[in-house]
Amino acid sequence: MNLPDDLDFARREGTRTIRRAAALCAVLLVALLANATRVQIFESGRYGGNPANHREAIDRYARPRGDIVVDGRPVTGSRYTGGMFRYERTYTDGPLYAAVTGFSSQRYGTTLLENAQDPLLAGTDPMLSLFPLWNDFVRRHPPGGQVVTTLNGAAQRAAYRYLAGRTGAVAALEPSTGRILALVSAPSYDPGELSGASASVAEAWTRMNGDAAQPMLNRAIRQTYPPGSTFKVVTAAAALDAGVVWDPDERTMSPNPYLLPGTTTWLRNETYGCANASLRYAFEWSCNTVFAKLGVDVGPRTMAATAEGFGFNDPGLRIPFAVAPSTFDRKLDQAQLALSSIGQFDTRATPLQMAMIAAAVADGGAVQAPYLVEKTTTSAGETVSSAAPHTRYRAMSPATAAVLREMMTDVVRQGTGRTAQIPGAVVGGKTGTAQHGVGNSGRPYAWFISWAQAHDAAEPAVAVAVVVEDAAGERGEISGGGNAAPIARGVMEAVLDSQPGYGPNSHGSASRPRSGTSGRLWPSPK
């Protein structure tokens, strides 16, 4: 027996076996790492989005959510439940702010500000921490931050109160900055009913989505309407900037009735004195025939370019959540252009867009980008980000804007918008009644867009757009001046009342001309 040879052989075999086992382990380790990489990197979206995976939701609701703030006061909160999802969202005056906050639901996700600012509110935004990578490694997040809105609480409450019991929307802006002061959609809903994960949440979701009144539809930013005669502001701007009209007091060559080009259809007016009326008279009393012909005279390209200068056909507008684009068709025959120029045919706009039109007149022709978030902060109040106002469009020349300010003031002082007058302030406005439905069979929408400036103020404080879908009264009695203007007046008063030093009895009457104008009372053509 050769023992040394046997031991040497055994040693070699053992070494070979160990090497094979080590190689196998290395292969298995590489495979494990490769699979982990596949799952955590390449397949993470599929697993993370799997409805059966509750880890992200459990982590999201394991701590209180940050708050949305109006006038320095949070309008949201978090309630401890003790369940798998420890905290659920609460809302103060939920229906009042639903068109702004949206909802945060453990069952149905997030919308509006709750969605657009979700990382900050949930505490996962890297900007909330000095060491975000370390927080990710230890799976520990800072408290959710706060979203400070631009809303004027008094204006928001006024819009909500005046719209009560009606279907419609209000949007209000600060013309010089684009800050959104009010955003209301009616009817509204309570987003708190969608918080949590109980059976009642599913019942509320089914009930709200099945409601014919569509309370969850944000009519202020997600619904477009034919703007009717309020669009005549755009047509007037196009005619003045293009030189089609040089003097707003000169009579136009506008027959009454007006035969739509290329058709046998006659367009008529619901008021008197429109035959060959001046631009000022036609604007003040809303003569369809004058503005339809002006749109044709201006031409489709210039009309479309002017509408886009106000913000139409822009799919990228966010405030910070998306706004449905308002539209003005670029491919129109002359008859269609005539109707589009009076806010009918395929012209459609959101209430926010129409508020931007009023704001452009008030701000000298510039359209400031509308925004809803003033700043975001940490839970301790340290600023994370802040808004910087900027001009998004140039709608018209300053000279044209000045003429339109005068004409809008005439509408409120002595025209179709007299119900919007406010003592102690100059108010400019434009009424509108928009036909819709097959053969215009639908109940007309009542519109009013406006701006208001205290007599001793340097610039207008607010621009407002109001649309009422279900205006009260007989069909022929529905009007922007009668149904929508009083709502706009209430919102404008709320904003003016919040201005330092404003007092309705200390600055003159509503009929007094604004500071810096000649105060000329323009005669109306007969």
CA distances from 60 to 43, 241, 379, 481 (A): 21, 53, 16, 48
State the distance between the two ends of the chain, measured CA to CA, in whole angstroms. 135
Go through 193-229 and write b for each residue having 16 or more CB atoms within 10 A of its CB, e for each that does not.
bbbbbeeebeebbeebeeeeebbbbbbbbbbbbbbbb
* Phi then psi dihedrals of residue 525, to 5 deg: -65, 150
Sign for the pseudo-dihedral over CA of 110, 115, 119, 120: negative
Q: Which of 78, 176, 185, 229 is catalytic?
A: 229
Is 229 among the residues known to form the active site? yes
Give the Cα separation of 308 and 384 in Å (integer): 33
Give the Cα separation of 99 and 188 in Å (integer): 8
Residue type, 285: W
- The secondary structure element, H or E, covering residue 168 is strand 168-173
- Is the separation of the CB atoms in 151 and 181 below 8 Å? yes
Minimal CA–CA distance to 344: which of 297, 383, 288? Answer: 288
Neighbours of 401 (CB within 10 A): 21
Q: Which residues are catalytic?
A: 229
